[in-house]
Copies of this chain bind each other. A is one copy, B any other.
């Protein structure tokens, strides 16, 4: 089940400390200009070691496109790509062969398969999402051509949050802080919190907000089991450490009255149907109404602490886990490009599928 999508299908592979990670993006439309440096730049954005806030691993990841692109354009055939693992330090993980880390997937992989690559979490490592980012970058190149824009940003770390409907104007605003929070004052508080948490050998959770815009969104999404919110949720909850997904006003709507959250329609000056408010988050009945699609993804704190932790070994005996490896105190900054990638893949697939709505 390492394939996502109906028409545009992204299949990924790879372990944290194997030969590499990569993917195959199938049924990508032909004729799209493929700017490999753009793909690499998206990958660089996910890279650890960008600041003191993220892990010191210096993954100088290089993506190699293996197929599906000819003379700078997509050919309609599968685009495969490979990112070789380099900075592996497998020995750092030798102790993990014999134990199950708390709130990690060591135990569940072992229970499910009877075998696991323990090095750095193997397949369950967030390292796998490097492939997602590359595939998402390709999807973004296609979405640009139909005027659809995807943007994500950090809206909460710990107890520090942006106001509910804060929305950045551009990626540049997001990129100007290390935590990828577009409000400078909030970003500064977040950075201080992450530094404090890091000093304690601890980690902290947060929320990434996302927005998908473009008038060509109108009509995307398939009833009943291809509702766009269901596809987005599945895509987001396949990201490591994601714990929740909401769209529009989300969980806050549970406490609201119908009269408060009705998105009243009107016709704008150019004759388009619009809504005065967007509590719906751009989706009604699972189908995009043309307003911005807005959503939020909750991330738990990283499970690996730079502290001693009690756990059990593979024979079930209690052991003490000593801090090892290099880990982020907070995944949020690096989660931002991954959320964007998953959104782009989901929307492009939906865009292609919706072409069959009518003859």
Contacts and interface: CB of A to CB of B under 8 A. Distances in A.
Interface in A201-248: 202-207, 218-219, 221-227, 229-231, 233-238, 240, 242-248
Interface stretch (A39-47, A60-68, A162-170, A176-184): A60-68
Nearest to A201: B259
Nearest to A312: B265
A104 interface: yes
Contact of A264 (B27, B146, B243, B310): B310
Contacts of A32: 359
A265 B111 CA distance: 14
A4 B17 CA distance: 28
Given A103-B279, A243-B253, 13 more contacts: A2-B78, A14-B67, A14-B78, A30-B115, A111-B218, A142-B359, A202-B259, A204-B256, A205-B256, A224-B238, A234-B234, A257-B301, A264-B311
Contacts of A250: 243-244, 298
A112 B76 contact: yes
Interface residues of A, number: 156
Task: Work out how many copies of this chain go into the complex.
Answer: 4
A5 to B, nearest CB: 9
Contacts of A299: 253-254
A300 B253 contact: yes
Contacts of A248: 243, 300
B77 A122 contact: yes
A263 B2 contact: no
Contacts of A103: 258, 261-263, 279-280, 284
Contacts of A22: 66, 80
Contacts of A229: 237, 242-243
A8 to B, nearest CB: 8
Most buried by B among A21, A80, A280: A80
B309 A205 contact: no
Given A265-B107, A273-B312, A300-B249, A75 B123 contact: yes
A185 interface: no
A273 B316 contact: yes
A7 interface: yes
A158 to B, nearest CB: 6
